Amino acid sequence: MTGTPASSVLFPRVAFIGIGLIGSSLARAMRQHGLVGTIACHTSSDGSMEHAKELGVVDEVYRSAAEAVRGADLVVLAVPIGANAACAEAMASGLKPGAIVTDVGSVKQSVIRDVSPFLPDSVAFVPGHPLAGTEHSGPDAGFAELFISRWCILTPPPGTPEAAVARVRALWEAVGSKVDVMEPGHHDRVLAITSHLPHLIAYTIVGTADDLASDAKQEVIKYSASGFRDFTRIAASDPTMWRDIFLNNREAVLEIVQRFTEDLTALQRAIRWGEGEVLFDLFTRTRAIRRGIIDQGQAYGSGIAPPPVPEKVE
């Protein structure tokens, strides 16, 4: 791109494998901040690739992953995590020595398991997970501001060169994120509670409502104020991505679902037996947690000020 200050370029050549919501947002953000010279791309859908090029999100498209990554300083795996092994195998022969491979998947242990075996020793692997997204999919849905004020967690396996981690950290900070580094298994357990379980619950409750008689369904939609409505937004997340997340973070998800089910059954019992104090004590405790989150500046996301009119809760 003309006019890109040489000092801001972090990676002269970047290759994206996959160019959906996350990939195209990162590509746009890298352009916007002058962090990259040339962006190459390969994805399984020819249509998506061409469209991304038409949009100006990427410069060059390739029908093979190995060609796409040739000469790349940074390779970003941005496919559904179930496709990682195949992509890593396909691209490996094209990687140049000293290249950095990173990803954006929502589970880390399985990504390391799937990708590491195919990478030459001369290539550094810095797995990452930007905690960002919307209910939409595809290269049209991406936007450069997606990662601003969001966390990005990096989970380099033992032995990853510090310099490579530092460069990937610099990338995410330059597009507006805060960066933390943690052990991959720990990441998977934390995300199981903050993200995977909430999504599973949202999917479930929307499905339960959908199974009601059809006239009841219409009313559920009609009166779906905040509460149920929030669940529908979460349950509109990309089906492929989320199928892969649950299948690839099985142990942590099953553990936390089990805890959740035990707790819900205890409440169900308290309701059946009219044990008001049990309910009241829990509801008081959870209100305090909300106050803690507000204090941490997390309540409204992105560090923005609370809306002037309080958010409505049904």
Query: What is the amino acid identity at position 121?
Result: D
C-beta closer to its own copies: residue 157 or 198:
198
Q: How far apart are CA 47 and CA 279, in angstroms?
A: 53
C-beta closer to its own copies: residue 17 or 241:
241
Long-range contacts of 222-227 (CB under 8 A, 24+ apart): 225/312, 225/314, 226/311, 226/312, 226/313, 226/314, 227/313, 227/314
End-to-end CA distance of the chain: 49
Binding mask 58-97 for its own copies (x = CB under 8 A): ------------------------x---------------
Q: How far apart are CA 244 and CA 110, in angstroms?
A: 10
Task: Say whether residue 193 binds its own copies (CB under 8 A).
Answer: yes
C-beta closer to its own copies: residue 117 or 269:
269
Task: Say whether residue 310 binds its own copies (CB under 8 A).
Answer: yes
Task: Say whether residue 260 binds its own copies (CB under 8 A).
Answer: yes
> For 38, phi and psi rounded to 5 degrees?
-115, 135
Task: Say whether residue 201 binds its own copies (CB under 8 A).
Answer: yes
Please choose, out of 10-18, 38-46, 115-123, 270-278, the segment that lies near its own copies by the rule CB under 8 A.
270-278
Task: Say whether residue 303 binds its own copies (CB under 8 A).
Answer: no
- Coil, helix or strand at residue 59: coil
Q: Which of 168, 207, 303, 305 binds its own copies (CB under 8 A)?
A: 207
C-beta closer to its own copies: residue 9 or 205:
205
The count of residues interacting with its own copies (CB under 8 A) is: 106
Using CB under 8 A as the binding rule, the residues of this chain from 6 to 65 that contact its own copies are: none
Using CB under 8 A as the binding rule, the residues of this chain from 137 to 176 that contact its own copies are: 141, 143, 145-146, 150-151, 153
Task: Say whether residue 272 binds its own copies (CB under 8 A).
Answer: yes
Shortest distance, position 176 Cβ to its own copies, whole Å: 13
DSSP state, residue 41: E
Q: Are the C-beta atoms of 121 and 115 separated by less than 8 Å?
A: no
Whole-Å CA distances, 147 to 15, 27, 132, 181: 19, 12, 6, 17
H/E stretch holding 268: helix 250-272
Shortest distance, position 222 Cβ to its own copies, whole Å: 7
Q: Which of 103, 132, 165, 179 binds its own copies (CB under 8 A)?
A: 132
Using CB under 8 A as the binding rule, the residues of this chain from 233 to 252 that contact its own copies are: 233-240, 242-244, 246-247, 250
Q: Which of 134, 157, 174, 179 binds its own copies (CB under 8 A)?
A: 134
Shortest distance, position 251 Cβ to its own copies, whole Å: 10
Q: How far apart are CA 223 and CA 101, in angstroms?
A: 47
Task: Say whether residue 131 binds its own copies (CB under 8 A).
Answer: yes
Q: How far apart are CA 241 and CA 2, in angstroms?
A: 36
Q: How far apart are CA 159 and CA 168, in angstroms?
A: 16
